[in-house]
Each structure stands twice: as structure tokens, then as C-alpha cells.
Structure 1
């Protein structure tokens, strides 16, 4: 994959919005004297964001995610003065210990990806100035399980219509299908691709699968979402109905145990399973390991033999496929340029005006959405692009 410094330089070249913010932050220094704790996938695109925060005066402490951390990028981050906590292993207890350690550091601001760091601060009795949360999974956790306990403003980046459209629908949709096809080397033409969840990520996965010639079937508990999928030209079905007809199954719900072993047993021999959601528990791979014998075919593809005449294939152990599958690089640089500009501007707002913001989760302010939308349009229409 080349060296990290070269990949970060290439990535930065295609992130004009974050580059502009970094230049501004070098002058305004909104994070002087503040420590920002990041729990996020550590790879070249996030390195460009971290550089902008450091230029803005921040002390940055980061913890990557299991399965998606690029350790040559981590080495480069450390050379910049970014503190990166020890490599998380596959043991949930180890990850929890890292989160507890970061929460105890007394970070002033948090950038979270799944709300695990925010929850660690809540459980540890700490209330930073504020936080941003990147994902649907994290927003669900905060709103459903910690609604009365969040004693800080949390800007949910995933609530921004810009992130929904540009990053989730187009960025995730494209990169997930690329990862599935790239890992398996199979064509999707005339195959039934079952998409669990018709939020913005699910919409994108369905659209890009259809663009590869697949017959798409959507599963969602919300009848309104099913109607939307039908109006978009896709089939709809219950989970059990879809299990019997699908060739490829992709989860994109942000919730746990969407595809369990009982459902997997109903799938055809040769079914391929992948997860596009943040949590690696949308597909119950741990239960599947107990119920079937496993054979690793290559680093990101495992066969599970459920019976003499039935095997299923899981990509990247059910981790987020567009980052965890070998050779995958996540969403396009340009889509993350938008998403990370929303992050940078939201953190700036929290650093300078946290006391004026309501406690608990709330959307990205419209002023930031409008500013970033105009910046994206300007970048897309720039003569230098042609």
C-alpha cells in the first residue's frame, strides 16, 4: 500500500475543505490549551483531520478501532506529537480499559465513533465541554440508553443532511459494494443482494448494488422505509423471506444481532455475508463460530460449514467491510472531506460556545451545514478540477 506519509499526502491533496479549515485554524487557534480525545478509525483521512486539529492548538489523544487501524498511519501520527493509545486487540475487555484510561485523562472535547468514549466519560463521572458523535449506532445508544445522563452538548454529525447524502449514501454505498466485490471477486449481475436497513447507508448500498446489476431486496422493520425502497424500484421482504432467496447479504442498520445464526441457517449454500454498519455485532459472528466449523480462505474471507451441504462465507469477520476487508480504504476521500469538515467546525463551536449549546445529542447547526454545503459546491465547480 506504500508508505503512510505518501498516502496521507495524496489524501490531503483531495481534501480541500479540511485543508482550508486547517489553514484558518493555524491563525485562529480555537483549541489552544484543550485536549481532544478521538475514538475513530485511524487511517490517512483521519490523519488529515487530526493535523487540522493540531494546527488549531489541540493536544490530541486518539484510540483506533479493532480491525480498521492502519498502524503505519499511527506511527506517522505519533511523529506529529499525537498521542495514540496502545494497539487494541480483539478482546473487548482490553478496548474497555483503553476507553476508561482515555476518559480519565480529562479530555476537554471528544470526537467519538459509536459513543463508547462518551459513555466511558459518563460512567466515570466526567463531563467534557462537549463532544461530536459520528454514527447512527452512537446516536441510538445516547438517545435510547443514556438520554437522561448526557451532561454535555453532543453534536451528532450523522444527523446532518450533508453527511446523510454525500458520505452515507454515496460514500458508504460505493465503498461497501467495492469492498464486497473486491474481496470475493464475484459479479453481482443477476444475483439477489439483500440489504438490511434502508437508512441513508442502506439506500446507498442498494443503489450501488443495483448499479452492478444486482436484484436488490430490502429488509427493514419500518413499513415507511419499505415503501420508499419499493418506490425506488427495489424488492422488499421479511428477513426470513429474504434469507431463502438471497445470494449476498449486507447489514446497514446500526443495531446488534440483525442477522443471527437461526436466520443464517435458512440461507442457501454459498451465501455471502458482510456488514456495513458501525457495530461488528450486526451479524452474530461469535455465535456462528460456535455453531459451525470455520476455514479461513484468505485474510478477509471465512467459510463456515453449517452442515455437510451448506456453507456460508463471511467477509472481514462481520466488521465494517469497507474498512476492515483487506485492501479496502473506506469511503472516498472527497466524501470524508465533507464529513470531517463538519467534525472540525462542530468541534470549533464546542470549543468556543459550549455553554450556549443545549445538553445532550442534537444535530449539526444549520449555519455549519450551509457553510460546508457552499464550500463543497465551490470545490466541485473549481476550474482546477477540469
Structure 2
């Protein structure tokens, strides 16, 4: 992609992120981040670029990196050309990613935007603190409330806890983009195909809803009895993966937990079953064991076929990485959806920059006044 076409793409995205644009205009006047380094670990793509430019307008020195296989290299170069430090590229291997994470920590940030709590983990391990941080994901929230519980010596505003992110971004944004990406990556018809959705959190709700809208026969796998009841009341069949493994045509994991789809399940699947992961980390499908026991072969730019010794063959999209961003040409959640999500991020980082004492150490939800302001702004925009 040429710089000219990237500039045009960025202009198009910016034009459709009007809430964040208004925040950026105010940041440009008020400069809330003057003298501060803001480190970000989140997918580097055009919508993120608009957020980074908004933070830069507020005076921030930025050091950014993406997550595994989610960096759009053209966007990264666009940002570098405009003075933003961007670490890494789309095809970085695990070792290179770990090195860049350490570089991010070594930049001694004042504020952190994390996506999976991996940088927060490194800061805690190094006894290094920041003024405050935000965490984007369900997976990161699980880490903050599990291994890192009581150990984080600075405030972390969990964007994922916002009802706005849950309802608008996770349910509708992820739901729409995951189904669209699976259809475009495979070119398969979903009508009357059995779509097995693992997890009925907000992302799972959206995937199930948009899958049904695409004509799929949706079955939900959810061990939590309350969420399982909700799925049932919403009109979905609720079952177990042990039961559905031989029956499903397409499997999508959206749980935030590792090892949800095991090789035992995979070897029981029907020929040519398709697997995709919508979770943040690439371990919800047990790809490590799969690579050890099955023979891979490419079936397209983003589809790998695995053949077991038993003769079972399955197709995995994007090697189990986050499907709506790791597939070549995918663009993630809709622009307007991320206008809301990144507006929450920008305002939470501003709160931590100007008034960190208003927040407790450790994980906590987005302040209610920020939720209310962004919700009202989006209602106005949609109207």
C-alpha cells in the first residue's frame, strides 16, 4: 500500500470517528499528556492510528506495538513517518514480540494502554510502576483478577468492564466482524451449517447472534449455568463440546481461556470442519499439541489443514490467532464501534494523567461519568 493510499485510508477512518475526533480537538487545546510517555500494546491498524494521533495531539510521546499477527505494516509506517515510535511488524515471531515487549517497558512510560495484561505483568515482575494503565480485554481482566490479584501497585481501568464496550464493541462489533471474516476467509455458505460457539460472554453472544443472522444453525457451549440459561432463552441450543465435536461444521472459541478446544475434540470432528478463535490469545485452540500430532498443509492464504494419523482432517483459520484481525485483509471491528471503544480509552488515559489519585490501585471499572459521556455522544451520532 502506498503512502498516498494509506493517507487516504486514514482520512476515511478519521472522518467516521467523530467522537474521538472531538476529543482530539479538545486534547489539542488542553494538552493533558504534555511531558508524558504513553506506551500502547494494541492492534496497530488504521482505527488505532486515529487513537494514537489523538493522544499525540494531547502532547503524548508515544511508543506503540501491536499484538501477535495484528499489526498492519502500512499503518505502522504511516505512524512512524509522523513521529510515533512503532515496534514490530505483522510477521514477528514470538521471540521478537517478547523483545519488543521488553523495549516497551524500557521506555519507562508514564501511562500504559495494555491489551491482554502482558505489559502489566512485566511491569509487576520488574517492580516498575506507572501513573496508571488501561486494559482492553476479557483475557487481560482474567489475568488481573487471577495471577495479578492484589499485586498491581497502580490503577488499571478495565475498559472491558464498561457496559458500553460489552454491548456495543464485544457483542455487535466482534460478532459482526468475526462472522464476516470467517465467511470471507473460507468463502463458505453458513446457511444450515452448524456453528458451534464456545463461550456466551459478550463476544460469544454477538457471534451467536450474527451467525444466526447469516443463516447458521447455532449451538452454544457454555459451562456457566446462568449464561447457559441466557443462551437458551435467547433461542440457541445449549450443549457440550464433547457432544458437538462430531456434529459441528464451524467452531468458534470466544472464552478468554486456554485449551478450550483440545486435540481429543479435534480428532472427533467431521471431515473439513473449520476452526477459528475469536479470543485475544492464540491458545484457546490447542495449536501446540495439534502441530505435534497432525500433519499440516496449506489450503489458502489463511487456512491450514491438519491431518491426523486416523485420517481425520480439519481446517484452522489463521493458525488459531484472533480471526477478525489475523486474517490477511481483515479490518477488525467496524469504524464506528471502535470510535466508541477508543473514546473510552482516550478519556480513561486522560483521567489517569490528570487525576490518578481518584482511582485505587489494581483493576477497576471505567468511571461512570466517562461511560455516560461516551454513551450520550454515540446516541447523538447514531441519531
TM range (shorter): over 0.9
1:148 aligns with 2:162: no
- TM-score, normalised relative to structure 1: 0.97
1:332-343 matches, within 5 Å, as 332-343=334-345
Task: Show the counterpart of 1:247.
Answer: 249
The answer as to whether partners of 2:69 and 2:90 remain within 8 angstroms in 1 is no
The answer as to whether partners of 2:71 and 2:90 remain within 8 angstroms in 1 is no
Task: Show the counterpart of 2:206.
Answer: 204
1:323 to 322, 325, 338: 325
Task: Show the counterpart of 1:263.
Answer: 265
Question: Secondary structure at 1:298's aligned position in 2?
Answer: coil
Cα distance in structure 2, aligned partners of 1:63 and 1:375: 29
1:279 to 278, 281, 286: 281
How far off its partner does 1:89 sit? Answer: 5.0
Cα distance in structure 2, aligned partners of 1:89 and 1:246: 31
1:355 aligns with 2:357: yes
Cα distance in structure 1, aligned partners of 2:289 and 2:90: 22
How far off its partner does 1:84 sit? Answer: 1.2
Cα distance in structure 1, aligned partners of 2:70 and 2:87: 15
Q: After superposing the two structures, state which structure 1 stretch, 252-261 or 308-317, moved more.
A: 308-317
Cα distance in structure 1, aligned partners of 2:88 and 2:275: 31
1:44-71 Cα distance to aligned partner (Å, 9 max, x none): 0000000000000000000112211111
The answer as to whether partners of 1:88 and 1:95 remain within 8 angstroms in 2 is no
Task: Show the counterpart of 2:63.
Answer: 61
Gaps of 5+ in 2: none
Question: Secondary structure at 1:302's aligned position in 2?
Answer: strand
Task: Show the counterpart of 1:364.
Answer: 366
1:5-84 matches, within 5 Å, as 5-84=7-86
The answer as to whether partners of 2:198 and 2:222 remain within 8 angstroms in 1 is yes
How far off its partner does 1:87 sit? Answer: 3.2
The answer as to whether partners of 2:73 and 2:90 remain within 8 angstroms in 1 is no
1:184 aligns with 2:182: no
1:134-159 Cα distance to aligned partner (Å, 9 max, x none): 00000101110011210000000000
1:81-114 Cα distance to aligned partner (Å, 9 max, x none): 1111243755333322221221122100000111
How far off its partner does 1:313 sit? Answer: 0.3
How far off its partner does 1:72 sit? Answer: 0.9
Question: Secondary structure at 2:174's aligned position in 1?
Answer: helix
Q: After superposing the two structures, state which structure 1 stretch, 92-101 or 172-181, moved more.
A: 92-101
Runs of 4+ in 1 over 4 A off after TM superposition: none
Paired residues in the alignment total: 381
1:343-375 Cα distance to aligned partner (Å, 9 max, x none): 000000000111221000000011000000000
Cα distance in structure 2, aligned partners of 1:66 and 1:279: 9
How far off its partner does 1:5 sit? Answer: 1.4
- TM-score, normalised relative to structure 2: 0.97
Evaluate the alpha carbon distance shift between residue 88 and residue 67 of structure 1 in structure 2; reply closer, same or farther with a 3 A threshold.
closer
Cα distance in structure 2, aligned partners of 1:378 and 1:165: 17
Aligned-residue RMSD, C-alpha: 1.2
How far off its partner does 1:128 sit? Answer: 0.1
The answer as to whether partners of 1:89 and 1:95 remain within 8 angstroms in 2 is no
2:130 to 102, 113, 128: 128
Cα distance in structure 2, aligned partners of 1:164 and 1:9: 27
2:233 to 222, 225, 231: 231
The answer as to whether partners of 1:34 and 1:58 remain within 8 angstroms in 2 is yes
The answer as to whether partners of 2:70 and 2:90 remain within 8 angstroms in 1 is no
Task: Show the counterpart of 1:384.
Answer: none
Cα distance in structure 1, aligned partners of 2:96 and 2:122: 14
Cα distance in structure 1, aligned partners of 2:310 and 2:9: 45
Gaps of 5+ in 1: 382-386
The answer as to whether partners of 2:192 and 2:215 remain within 8 angstroms in 1 is yes
Cα distance in structure 2, aligned partners of 1:58 and 1:370: 25
Task: Show the counterpart of 2:381.
Answer: 379
Question: Secondary structure at 2:146's aligned position in 1?
Answer: helix
Cα distance in structure 2, aligned partners of 1:90 and 1:286: 18
Task: Show the counterpart of 1:157.
Answer: 159
